[in-house]
Structure 1
């Protein structure tokens, strides 16, 4: 089921940025964009809307006032507030929004929000990563990756390298932030400097002399595995139905 989305903001540039970000999510159908509270009310009277990205500060009415009207008329519409000032968030919680996003909207932050949106409307995401896309900060902007194309992620000094089937790309996101983002997609952090997709793990290897462990990935790459994570990873692989060879 596609999620029908309406964007409500009197800032055209903010809407264009959000539209660009949302284009990465195949489960979203952008039903329209409006620039005032009056236009928003007219729109939802005539169109089916599941989710609204609602700017809190608009010229004719505040997003909080508009949310009150919307929830009185159509309680099934979920709301994500968008604002340039974090101070509005406390009052906005009275409307039980899915989330608050600060302008300018960061794609990495939006990724977490959209994972919540997908689970709210469609249930927990499936383990299958085919055609799943994710946005990451790289030099010059944001690059959209196919999740299934990522072989592993490595922290080298202060830099993070995303290694894919089509080359390597340097990300400005931290390794911890990336770990949080990719956990939903079946990725695991076996070592402080690496994150790998569990379905790409071919074997767990041990060296009895040095008492060290490595993971062999399906492309032959060897990745270190911390000793304190060996049993945890084995349990996760079994839970995922992955058989090591």
Structure 2
């Protein structure tokens, strides 16, 4: 597992790395940990999906951890980000970009161990995640629901857009896919023939739904406020449920 620590205080970074290495030793876990002394340094070397977990200080010289994370989310919607800070002031901002957790400084060993336990359990449970099955160019394809960002009807075809922007154009009806995915709370119909995974929505405004990865799709204008509220309620409940687990 690749882990990045982004913190402009070397003493804090070294302490966190030491705790994580102790956790890895006690749990026979293979960890590769890289440290960066600021958001600019990290982004200059960053490649999408290169890290499974990123520990990010919020208050740093130069760009903040929140600003750094927003840059990450432009191309990487999957990597888990854990913020560390001495203030809870920016907690709403942290979770608005789908942060995995928010840990007050100084980070306690027991809290970090709990975060790692929960994260590894979540990764293991993901193996049992539901999949969408379809045929593409005579091949049988299976895609986990969590990888689907958007599904939309185009003529007699369905376009399945994944979080990494890979697209499958398949001969299926929107109703057949919608009947399957509508049972999953993540998927929101934003317009006739368009279904969006709310985990990847970044904003709803001006008659459009904006999705991570520079994806944009129109929505039913008269329902814009309602759709925005549904999305915000979903994110709020998700944050609350994740906080209860932690």
For the aligned pair, the TM-score class normalised by the smaller chain equals 0.3 to 0.5
Q: Which of 1 and 2 has higher RCO (CA within 8 Å, sep 6+)?
A: 2
TM-score normalised according to structure 2 size = 0.46
TM-score normalised according to structure 1 size = 0.47
